[in-house]
Structure 1
Amino acid sequence: MSGFKRVRRSGLAVATFTAFEADLLRSLAGQLIELLRNEEATQPTGDPLEQLLDFSGPTTEPEDPVLARLFPTAYLEDEEAASDFRRFTEATLRDGKASAAAAVIDALEEAGLGTEPEDGVFIDVELDDAAAMTWMRSFTDMRLAIATRLGIEDGDEEHWHDLPEEDPRSQVHAIYEWLGFLQETLVRSAA
């Protein structure tokens, strides 16, 4: 686990993953896409102008806690403004997050990740600045999803490090930390 490094000659951020690590990233990105696409994100309205302009996004906070965290309510004090803001922006935000996760999958597969990852195979990923930003955003979304599902909060690191290794939450928390490590090294390599 080496993380990302900047290659001076090419200017690219580069990381080498084992096939298992690359497949895990692909799986996490795929799960994020599925979550973003499964909950109904649009509600048709009767307004012909809105239908023409496609302002048909949802007007209420998502029921799934992860989606509620990824798409928080913008105006806590003004329910109508919050509803309008969500209707005009959430569908586009969902598409952007899903596209970023799909870009992670595409980059991994273009770098050689097959459908059946093999032991001893390494995947070299090279990202230009635009791709690095996309990956950073996707890492943020993946980490928020895991943190929400596990109930991770600021200052509770000791709790997570004290969990026995056989506790499945400990393993998922290790993935959360690994994503944080990857994101940190990618940020440093882009600086």
Structure 2
Amino acid sequence: MGRRTRSGYFESVPGGGAAVALDEVEVSILRSLAVQLLELVGPGDQPADAQDADPLASLFTEGPSKPPEDPALARLFPDAYDQTADAAEFRRFTENDLRARKRDDALAMVRGLDAGGSVVELTPDDARQWLGALNDLRLTIGTRLEVTEDETSELYRLPDDDERKPLVMAYLWLGGLQESLVEALMK
């Protein structure tokens, strides 16, 4: 792919996509995080035979009516309203689709990374999925770190021996990737 890009920064490509140069360690970390996101999101409460089901019937497959107990999943699948019957109904009919989209986004990232090479080129559709996956990864890590607007400055000054330091570094790195992808797509 003879494209030259700055390492770790997305740049726009003709046709509306983006490209990023990543070294082997960055690819490994990003792939590992995406796989962990896939495991976290999981299949949801879909019936085992959902893939073989009638497509029309699958539109009416109901999902869970309660928010997830895991704080990271609750952040990825928030209530649409206050804790009311409306929120439970909304969740029942939307969470499975949202879960499937989040899985598709993370899988697109894994596939893009597995394609090999030092430069990952994304079509506009791939870039949209990567943006979704990067956002979901940041939300998940931010939830695990209990990031709030007031606390972020403390997290940025952690000593090197703090067990949260690698997560903070990943959180910041993912934010930089996400920001550079948005900027590349806006050009």
Q: Please, what TM-score do these two structures have when normalized by structure 1?
A: 0.83
* Structure 1 residue 32 corresponds to structure 2 residue 27: no
Q: Which residue is 2:121 aligned to? A: 126
1:66 and 2:61 matched: no
Distance 1:172 1:110 in 2: 26
Superposition deviation, residue 167 in structure 1:
1.0
Report the counterpart of residue 169 of structure 1 in structure 2.
Answer: 164
Matches within 5 A, 1:133-172: 133-172=128-167
Q: String of CA shifts for 1:77-131, please: whole Å, max 9, x gaps.
A: 5x2111110000000100000110000000111134xxxxxxxxxx210012111
| Runs of 5+ consecutive residues of structure 2 not aligned to the other structure | 1-6, 48-55
| Whole-angstrom CA distance in 1 between matches of 2:102 and 2:8 | 26
State the Cα distance separating 1:134 from its structure 2 match. Answer: 0.8
Superposed displacement of residue 51, structure 1: 6.6
CA RMSD of aligned residues (A): 2.1
Q: How does 1:110-125 map to 2 (within 5 A)?
A: 110-112=115-117, 123-125=118-120
Whichever residue aligns with residue 100 of structure 2, its letter is: D
Cα 1:85–1:16 shift into 2, 3 Å: same
Aligned identity (percent) is: 40
Gaps of 5+ in 1: 44-49, 113-122
**4+ residue stretches of structure 1 with deviation over 3 A?**
9-12, 50-54
- 1:76 and 2:82 aligned: yes
TM-score if structure 2 supplies the norm length? Answer: 0.85
Q: Please, which moves more after superposition, 136-145 or 124-133?
A: 124-133
Residue of structure 1 equivalent to 2:91? 86
User: Is the CA contact 1:42–1:58 (under 8 Å) kept in the aligned structure 2?
Assistant: no
Deviates more, 1:15-24 or 1:155-164: 155-164
Inter-partner Cα distance in structure 2 for 1:55 and 1:10:
37
